[in-house]
Amino acid sequence: MIYIQLFLSFMKIGFTSFGGMSMIPLILEEMTSHGWMTAEDLSNLVAIAEMTPGPLGINCATFTGTQTAGFLGGFIAVLGVLTPAFTLTLVIAVFFEKFKESSVMRRIMFVVKPICIAMILSVIVTLSSTTYFVEGTVQPFSIGIAALMLYLLIKRKWSVPKVIISSAMLGVIFYGVVPMVRG
């Protein structure tokens, strides 16, 4: 039964990974061992997942499930990858709400919160290096868009959806219309 196999595969992926790119090797292993996908399919999948909104894990599950067993397959794969959230994380949530005022939890959070900021900073550095310097060349339009959006977000208090839509429109102008006019 393909649906049960899909569910079990993605449940395994969910429990053994921590989201984002860390899921890719696990997905590759599961997909090739079942013969559902090749490595090339998977790299296409990563490209799509990055182009579309939503968590990479959900995007991967939807794409794989839909490709192998239609829309129902996609839905089942998504449920599989969500199993850790509905079980383990739910238990953690219950305990966390109960004990977050305890003195040991306050200490843990005092230490873990700055670590969280550090994780976000390293994501920013990694993303900047691939977005604004593509294969060794500086991307002036991208840097310009980024600077403008930073100003709008912080000084003008623009909302994230507004920023996303306007930067996509600027992208169409600078990376679509401008190169076309220049020939």
Partner 1 sequence: MDRIKKGLSIFAFFFKIGCFTFGGGWAILAQMEQEFVNKRQIITKSELLEMVAVGKSAPGIMITNISLLFGYHVAGVFGGLCAVFGIITPAVIILSIVTLFYNSFKDNYWVHAGLTGLRAAVVPIIGSAALSLGKDALRTPPAVVICLAAFCLSMFAGVSNILLVLLGVIGAMLWWGSTLVKKERVPEA
**Which of the residues 80 through 109 are near partner 1 (CB under 8 A)?**
81-86, 88-90, 92-94, 96-97, 100, 103-104, 106-109
How far, in Å, CA of 72 to CA of 80, rounded? Answer: 12
Among 26, 31, 59, 76, binds partner 1 (CB under 8 A): 59
- Report residue 29 as tokens: 């292993």
Q: Could you tell me the smallest distance in angstroms from the CB atom of residue 47 to partner 1?
A: 7
Among 111, 135, 182, 183, binds partner 1 (CB under 8 A): 111
Helix (H/G/I), strand (E/B), else coil: 36: coil
Taking Cα atoms as reference points, which of 75, 57, 91, 58 lies closest to residue 7? 75
Among 34, 75, 156, 182, binds partner 1 (CB under 8 A): 75
41, 27 Cβ separation under 8 angstroms: no
Q: Could you say which residues in the range 114-153 bind partner 1, by CB under 8 A?
A: 114-125, 127-128, 131-132, 139, 141-143, 145-147, 149-150, 153
Which distant-in-sequence residues (6+ apart) come within 8 Å of 23 by Cβ?
Answer: 13, 17, 56, 57, 60
Taking Cα atoms as reference points, which of 114, 106, 14, 105 lies closest to residue 64? 14
Among 25, 43, 112, 133, binds partner 1 (CB under 8 A): 112
Task: For residue 25, state whether it binds partner 1 (rule: CB under 8 A).
Answer: no
Q: Which residues pair with 133 in a beta bridge?
A: 138
